[in-house]
């Protein structure tokens, strides 16, 4: 789990000033606790999920509410993730009870009357969420499943409110890459189900604090599209230059986008160099010929990207070994300073570095999404 201490004063200030349209408060502690539970369930990160569930009990969630949230998510993250999450819930309950910690069972969903018609009621609920009647004529059977089962059977269970369910859904979809259209749709739907704009923005803040920057950024971008007002950027995360020195302006700065600094750690004996990147700074694409480069993140947060591969997030302790001949770049995250040690090994006498084209904003932003 990402436990970085983020500076969110600007976000909090924005939230407090956005309480205009619907409600006068942001999410309660209980509602906030649903966010990482949903996100980690969707991602399948079970160890982090267990810790999130444990905190959820401390925040006032009941077994019934957490169980309902995890069951609800099968419609959005699939049965495998939902069933795994329910298993983690059982384990967490057993661990808390063995320690004598409180676990409130909560109220189960009310029984439905014999005359209840899931299709009729689900059609109404779906229209409320979508803001208008919706018929998926391209796939009639899917349309039926959505109306009768998801919005009819599942949404009828009243141990979670419709607003709670949309907080859970938005949080889960924000944790999944490639689901941005559904994320935007559910942000709109959450508003129709009674979730305030301030509460929706609070989801992004909780994701940043409890889950990760990628998930928070994905949520923030969707919120900006739907709500029409961008969230202010938080103050970039600093690093302590008293621990790892910042050094002097980088003499190779022409090969970097943004400001960077070098601090040789033991130049006399060929020791590593500490490289400091300001937020969003990155070096150009480059290749080390006939030598292997080693990077060791010592502070902040950044990215290492090899051509054709997924970005690798670098946090303190991350070590990257870059084979000779591999095209790559590395640099700071958009919201954090970044420091890494670097040195070369297995160097041939004629080893060299070939500097290539700058990393475009699109390439950089792809790593930060």
Q: Parallel, antiparallel, or unpaired: how do β-strands 302-306 and 260-264 relate?
A: unpaired
Confidence band for 228, pLDDT divided at 50, 70 and 90: confident
User: Token pair 């400001």 is at which residue?
Assistant: 259
pLDDT value at residue 230: 59
The hierarchical CATH code for the domain 9-109+157-227 is: 1.20.1290.10
Domain ranges of the chain: 9-109+157-227, 248-368
- DSSP-derived secondary structure letter, 243: T
Does the 248-368 domain belong in CATH 2.60.120.10?
Answer: yes
Confidence band for 5, pLDDT divided at 50, 70 and 90: very low
What number of helices (H) and strands (E) belong to the chain?
13, 13
DSSP 34-96: HHHHHHHHHHT-HHHHHHHHHHHHHTT--HHHHHHHHHHTHHHH-HHHHHHHHHHHHHHHHHH
**Predicted confidence (pLDDT) at residue 269 exceeds the cutoff of 80:** no
Torsion of CA 69, 70, 75, 79, to 10 degrees: -170
22 half-sphere exposure, CB direction, 13 A CA radius: 15
User: Token pair 């924005």 is at which residue?
Assistant: 14
DSSP 158-169: TTS-HHHHHHHH
293 half-sphere exposure, CB direction, 13 A CA radius: 23
* pLDDT tens, residue by residue, 317-350: 999 999 999 999 999 998 889 999 999 999 999 9
* Interatomic CA distance for residues 317 and 296, integer angstroms: 7
Q: Which one, of 154, 157, 147, lies nearest residue 119 by Cα? A: 147
**Predicted confidence (pLDDT) at residue 160 exceeds the cutoff of 70:** yes
pLDDT value at residue 365: 86
Confidence band for 233, pLDDT divided at 50, 70 and 90: low
- Is the backbone of residue 194 left (phi > 0), alpha (psi -120 to 50) or beta? left
Q: Parallel, antiparallel, or unpaired: how do β-strands 273-277 and 338-345 relate?
A: antiparallel
* Interatomic CA distance for residues 332 and 66, integer angstroms: 37
Q: CB burial class (10 A; 0-12, 13-18, 19+) of residue 47?
A: exposed
Highest mean pLDDT, choosing among 9-18, 28-37, 225-234, 358-367: 28-37
**Predicted confidence (pLDDT) at residue 97 exceeds the cutoff of 80:** yes
* Interatomic CA distance for residues 287 and 81, integer angstroms: 40
Q: How many CB atoms sit inside 10 A of residue 127's CB?
A: 16
- Please state the rounded mean pLDDT for residues 140-162: 96
pLDDT value at residue 2: 38
Residues constituting the chain: 369
- Please state the rounded mean pLDDT for residues 173-199: 95
Residue 330 φ/ψ, nearest 5 degrees: -150, 150
pLDDT value at residue 26: 76
**Predicted confidence (pLDDT) at residue 4 exceeds the cutoff of 90:** no
- DSSP-derived secondary structure letter, 24: S
């Amino acid at each position: 789990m990402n436990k970085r201490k983020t500076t969110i004063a600007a976000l909090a200030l924005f939230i407090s000033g956005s309480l205009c349209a619907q409600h006068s408060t942001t999410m309660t502690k209980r509602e906030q606790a649903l966010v990482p539970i949903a996100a980690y369930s969707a991602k399948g990160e079970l160890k982090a999920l267990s810790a999130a569930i444990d905190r959820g009990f401390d925040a006032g969630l009941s077994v019934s509410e957490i169980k309902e949230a995890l069951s609800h998510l099968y419609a959005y993250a699939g049965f495998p993730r939902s069933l795994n999450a329910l298993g983690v819930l059982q384990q967490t309950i057993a661990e808390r009870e063995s320690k004598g910690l409180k676990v409130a069972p909560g109220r189960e969903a009310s029984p439905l009357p014999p005359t209840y018609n899931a299709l009729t009621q689900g059609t109404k609920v779906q229209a409320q969420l979508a803001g208008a009647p919706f018929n998926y004529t391209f796939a009639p059977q899917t349309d039926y499943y959505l109306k009768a089962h998801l919005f009819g059977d599942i949404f009828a269970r009243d141990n979670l409110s419709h607003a709670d369910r949309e907080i859970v859904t938005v949080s889960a979809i924000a944790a999944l890459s490639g689901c941005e259209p559904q994320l935007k749709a559910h942000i709109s739907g959450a508003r129709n189900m009674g979730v305030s704009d301030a509460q929706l923005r609070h989801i992004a803040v909780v994701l940043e604090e409890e889950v990760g920057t990628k998930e928070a950024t994905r949520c923030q971008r969707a919120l900006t599209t739907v709500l029409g007002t961008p969230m202010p950027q938080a103050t970039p995360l600093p690093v302590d230059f008293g621990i790892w020195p910042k050094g002097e302006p980088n003499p190779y700065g022409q090969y970097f986008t943004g400001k960077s600094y070098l601090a040789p750690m033991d130049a006399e004996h060929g020791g590593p160099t500490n490289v400091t990147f300001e937020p969003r700074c990155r070096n150009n694409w480059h290749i080390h010929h006939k030598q292997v480069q080693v990077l060791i993140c010592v502070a902040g947060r950044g990215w290492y990207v090899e051509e054709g591969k997924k970005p690798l997030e670098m946090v303190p302790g991350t070590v990257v070994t870059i084979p000779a001949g591999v095209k790559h770049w590395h640099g700071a995250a958009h919201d954090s300073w970044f420091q890494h040690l670097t040195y070369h090994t297995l160097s041939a006498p004629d080893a060299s570095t070939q500097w290539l084209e700058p990393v475009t904003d699109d390439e950089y932003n792809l790593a930060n999404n």
